[in-house]
Structure 1
């Protein structure tokens, strides 16, 4: 028996409530459990990332277009540099051949 005012005041502390045990026969197997907000957001984030990467591979995103343009420019510069090196090498060999004569 509670003494004094404690008997009149009813306080229900949620931390003191014991969890109810669930029997195996009462569990509904067909019922799908709902995902928590964090789990849903994580799944949505993964799906969005997969969609973005798929578009990235197809070259449909702004970033991929810029990357492809940059790559084309680099390839062109490398081709020009290789051509220039070949010309310099040919000129150098020609000078050596003329010096030997």
Structure 2
């Protein structure tokens, strides 16, 4: 035997089974080769009963019937079976997002009407600024009038 991963060349000599060996079930074929397929190859008229092997289950799955919703296979729904009238349920995040948008719209409407505290403060600040601007404009007009009066007196 040589050293290494393989005991011999992996592409070396291959063993082929004869149709008689396959039919007898003594072939050296892999275990995935089923008796039903062997009958098709040999085409004999013998009928053998092939028992379906139940699924091999791991651990205690064979003893205990478990109803795990995560293991359920996804059902494909056909377009003709879809119920159009049924309302789709929103996820929690989607519901919260919609509620947040509605609350913001409600707040903005109250803000425009001046009914919120922030709106009142803004309106008070705006009134103070308008008074300051009006006083500054009045002062500029008085200064302009005073300059024009000085120019008029200087020309005379």
Q: What is the deviation of 1:21?
A: 1.5
TM-score calculated relative to the size of structure 1: 0.83
Q: What is the deviation of 1:26?
A: 2.7
1:40 aligns with 2:95: yes
Larger displacement relative to structure 2 (83-92 or 20-29): 20-29
Q: What is the deviation of 1:99?
A: 1.3
Q: Deviations over 1:24-76 (max 9, x none)?
A: 33322211111111111111001000000000000000000000010011011
Aligned to 1:74: 129
Give ranges in structure 1 of 5+ residues lacking alignment.
none
d(CA) in 2 for partners of 1:49, 1:39:
15
Q: What is the deviation of 1:17?
A: 5.0
d(CA) in 1 for partners of 2:138, 2:121:
26
Alignment length, in residue pairs? Answer: 97
Aligned to 2:155: 100
TM-score calculated relative to the size of structure 2: 0.55
Please tell me the root mean square deviation across aligned C-alpha atoms, in Å: 2.2
Specify the structure having the higher radius of gyration (Cα).
2
d(CA) in 1 for partners of 2:111, 2:100:
16
Greater per-residue helix proportion? 1
